[in-house]
Amino acid sequence: MFAHRRPTGRPGSPAWRRAVALGAGALLAWTGTTVALAPLAHAGTITPTVHCTLPAGQGEATGPQTFDIELTPDVVDPGGKVHAKVKLGPSPATSGLSLNDVPTTPSVDLAMSGGATGTVTVTGPEVTLDVPSGKPIEIPPYEGDFLVPANASGPITFTPLRNITRTKVLGSNYTTTCEVISGGGPIGTVTAEGSAGQPATLIAPTTAVRPSTAVALSGSRWTAGATPVPSLCAADGGGCDAGKFASSSLAINGSGQLTGSAVLAAAGTVPDGSYLVKVGDGTKETTAPLTVRAFVPDGPRAIALSRGSGPVGSVIAVTGSDYYQDRWINTVGLDATGATLDETAVYVKSRPDGTFSVDFTVSDPAIASIQVDEANDPATVLTTPFTVTEATATLSAGTAKVKPGGSIAVSGDGWPSGVTPAAALCAADGTGCNAAGISGSTLRIAANGSLSGTVTAAGSTARGVYALQVTAGGQQALTQLTVAPTFVVLTPASGPRGTSVTVIGQGFAKVATVSITGLRADGSKTSDSVRTKVVGLDGAFSQTFTVNAADTVAIRVREVLVNPRTETAAFTVQDGTVPAGASFALSPPEGPPGTVVQVTGRGFAPVATVSVTGRTADGKQTADSYVTRVIGLDGTFALNFTVRDPATKAIRACEVLVNGKTVQQLFTVS
């Protein structure tokens, strides 16, 4: 649900309530008018006593009111349409406040007797009125249509039951109902005769539904291709109001089948009760019973924070349960003394299941706790502590080497949650940062402040050592990043004598042979044996190299050509035991469709062929082409696999042998 900055005077606050009360006071007499027109021929006129129930707690009023209604035609088919012209006399109630340009929709309920029973409603179009204070409100005469029941037969007598006026004041909807309590009587008769085809059917849920939820409706024998309009009526069929539904996806196909749903308005608009849902398509209409019952909490209210601490700028998810539905939930920060920090306040409405979720921004360093209440009711206040921490954002780019146009995994901790990170490429000293140096990013921050995702270096980036800058919510961090068309990565990059290092190369000449040697500080070769490897068709290779020489400071890779290409990576000899090497790795482990992933492995059968494929969630091969590579004598391999299929959930490497080794790592398509 979308959360808004709370305006001055929250929903439910005293200021808000005063405004609503004043606006509602103008609604007292919106059910009548004085019209200086002679009665139309054949129109029925009665002047009964009506009792008006006024909205927003404004009281009641009783007195006479004239109903002048003309019905045409005199004879209709069963299920046929009747047109009504309505004029109402002044209401017994008056307005206490002058208002201009008020949207108003009048209607009148008529009871049927004789050839049909039940209630029909005549609803006029919405009009805009100026309402004078203390004077009768003049609603112009209006017209509307209704359908008689499909099983009607013979003369049908119509008697006014009530008139209903719906208005929109101060952004809210109000209803004024004036019931006929005495002196009423019929105003006309229409005869139903002839054959009108079979009536439409309507199926609605038989169990109670909640306000603000979709109500599935279906039926048959409707007018093919017509537009169905739902409305909600009282249990007797009167007071039908299309405004009781917030939206509708109902449709009638070419076979006359009704499908779809209609979303009920909020609980404040649709109280609990038994109703009739009515659907009309302009030619046919019918009703079905519907029970509405709002969510009622079955336990105490509870709230939770997605994070109990974080730096200024963090966006914290505040969630709650067991609240009354469709209520305004106010969330605000408090300082250490318990004083309200008004500028931090946000509000959101509770969902139909009594839960809510709102994003709360830690915008003030004085915040010591977060308070939640339901509709400004002091009895519903809940408070939970929150600690504002110092900025401790960290940033790492993994191997810290990437080709122009390539992606690399990025991670970190201590970031403000709920904020979208932005990445830029800077000079090595952190100056001259340029967002255009990063052509793509999937970076995100989890609720615990951890940063993850990938960044893609722009394809035009020149070879060099740069600083990757990430910014989020006022926090910023840098990490070194080398961009080069050709580079070497060592795994591990340090270790004791005897360490077996996996040397991974990217961007070398296809099918070229490379030699791998250890280097001393003066650039001369160490005593360790030289290793060689044939580069794959994608310019990548993997080869193990054992570091035995204590004076090793780097490992060099050189193409065996006339003008050999050379790349070097530092290695630090340490004391201790030899670490175990990784068996299978992806770099990066995530990215959008089109990402080129470097796949490396060790511990496979020497000289065997390995096949690398993408896999869906159910383990099936994706639509992406498989890639094969002959494993080196040391059991390692390296290749590039392009992920294009968005259904990819993992990348698998399998030896093409009987009982071949199979390994798999997750890959996230972002």
310 alpha-carbon distance from chain centroid: 25
Main-chain dihedrals φ then ψ at residue 171, nearest 5 degrees: 80, 5
pLDDT score of 365? 92
Rounded mean pLDDT, 160-166: 93
- pLDDT of residue 572 exceeding 90, the answer is yes
CA distances (Å), 201 to each of 15, 208, 268, in order? Answer: 48, 20, 30
Find residue 104's DSSP bridge partners. 127, 167
- pLDDT of residue 311 exceeding 90, the answer is no
Q: Which has the closest alpha carbon to 563: 509, 485, 511? A: 509
pLDDT score of 111? 95
Which two tokens mark 73? 């035609």
pLDDT higher at 209 or 392 = 209
pLDDT score of 6? 42
Percent helix, strand, coil in the chain, to 5, is: 5, 50, 50
Main-chain dihedrals φ then ψ at residue 584, nearest 5 degrees: -160, 135
Query: Do residues 546 and 552 lie in contact, with contact meaning Cβ atoms separated by under 8 Å?
Result: no
Counting residues of the chain whose pLDDT is more than 90, the rounded percentage is 63
Exposure class string for 226-264: b at 16+ Cβ within 10 A, else e: bebbbbbbbeebbbbbebbbeebebebeeebebebbbeb
pTM, two decimal places: 0.58
Q: Which of 13-17, 83-87, 294-298, 405-409 has the lowest mean pLDDT?
A: 13-17
Q: Report which DSSP code applies to 242.
A: G
Give pLDDT tens digits for 417-456.
Answer: 888 999 999 998 889 999 999 999 999 998 888 899 999 9
Q: Which of 263-272, 358-367, 398-407 has the lowest mean pLDDT?
A: 398-407
pLDDT score of 11? 47
